[in-house]
């Protein structure tokens, strides 16, 4: 993997409660310079789309606790799309999941996914879940036709673990976030798959007054537009293996698949 390919799999992120437009601009400038993507608060998406039209924008809904009403999450996702977002990260309602109200969780995820013609990642807050709960969360995300599952918001104790990612990768590609550590070199973590010729699935959509295009695959980590992902273990001839987290310097989240 060369430098450009590595950078294209990084979400440079700023999602703090005190985030200012200057903070967002700094992240966008760095993302534009180095070929990364940017994950930013919804209130800045429209300005960001105008300020950095070549940067892939990720935004969030129901963030960070996931307990907004279904209609609120739908509206947040739709508004972010209309403002220029390329991807949406939605936080699953952990309280409803843990209390056994899986029908409400399933309905909510399905509605958010259906609300926008964009890749939707479901943040499951894995550090808060037992394995059985984590599996249920991933099953619901897959049934809702989400594009990916994501380990955590970073607003709870604990971070991504290899064990959680292995479980999650049985269902959908995984974005590992929270508790990110930096390996000495990317080459120690990234090992090219034996067969890298599998074509990704293409998805295109309207982005405000312009057209955005994202090439990604639900089965192969090499195709993600935002980060490094683990391929579902059930995918035929899947060539990627579980994700190990890489850095969290400043607001940067990076992800590297590992064998």
Q: Where are the beta strands (DSSP E) in the chain?
A: 10-13, 37-39, 57-61, 87-91, 120-123, 148-150, 174-175, 201-207, 210-216, 243-245, 252-257
User: Do residues 40 and 57 touch, judged by C-beta distance below 8 A?
Assistant: yes
Active centre residues (catalytic): 89, 150, 175
* pTM attached to this predicted model: 0.74
pLDDT reported for residue 182? 57
Q: Tens of pLDDT along 148-179? A: 999 999 898 888 899 999 999 999 999 888 76
**pLDDT tens profile 67-80:** 999 999 999 999 99
Please give the average per-residue pLDDT across 203-228, as a whole number: 32
Helices (H), 56-130: 70-83, 94-98, 102-115
pLDDT at position 6: 81
- The residues, ordered by sequence, that sit 6+ positions from 203 with a Cβ below 8 Å of its Cβ are 119, 213, 214, 215, 216
Total domain count, the chain: 1
Q: What is the CATH number of the domain that holds 144?
A: 3.20.20.70
Parent domain of 199: 3-257
* pLDDT score for 183: 54
């Amino acid at each position: 993997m060369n430098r450009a390919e590595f950078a294209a799999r990084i979400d440079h992120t700023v999602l703090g409660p005190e985030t200012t437009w200057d903070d967002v601009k700094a992240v966008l400038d760095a993302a534009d310079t180095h070929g990364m993507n940017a994950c930013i608060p919804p209130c800045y998406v429209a300005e960001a789309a105008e300020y950095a039209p070549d940067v892939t924008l990720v935004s969030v809904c129901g963030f960070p606790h996931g307990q907004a009403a279904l209609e609120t999450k739908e509206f947040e996702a739709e508004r972010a799309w209309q403002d220029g977002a390329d991807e949406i990260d939605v936080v699953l309602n952990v309280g409803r999941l843990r209390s056994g109200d899986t029908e409400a969780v399933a309905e909510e995820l399905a509605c958010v996914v259906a609300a926008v013609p964009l890749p939707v990642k479901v943040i499951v807050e894995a550090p808060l879940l037992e394995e059985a709960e984590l599996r249920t969360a991933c099953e619901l995300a897959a049934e809702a036709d989400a594009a990916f599952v994501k380990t955590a918001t970073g607003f709870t104790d604990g971070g991504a673990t290899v064990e959680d990612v292995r479980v999650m990768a049985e269902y959908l590609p995984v974005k590992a976030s929270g508790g990110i550590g930096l390996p000495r070199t990317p080459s120690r973590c990234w090992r090219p798959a034996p067969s890298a010729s599998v074509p990704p699935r293409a998805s295109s959509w309207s982005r405000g007054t312009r057209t955005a295009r994202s090439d990604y695959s639900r089965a192969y980590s090499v195709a993600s537009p935002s980060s490094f992902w683990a391929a579902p273990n059930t995918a035929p001839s899947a060539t990627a293996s579980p994700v190990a987290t890489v850095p969290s310097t400043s607001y940067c989240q990076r992800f590297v698949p590992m064998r």
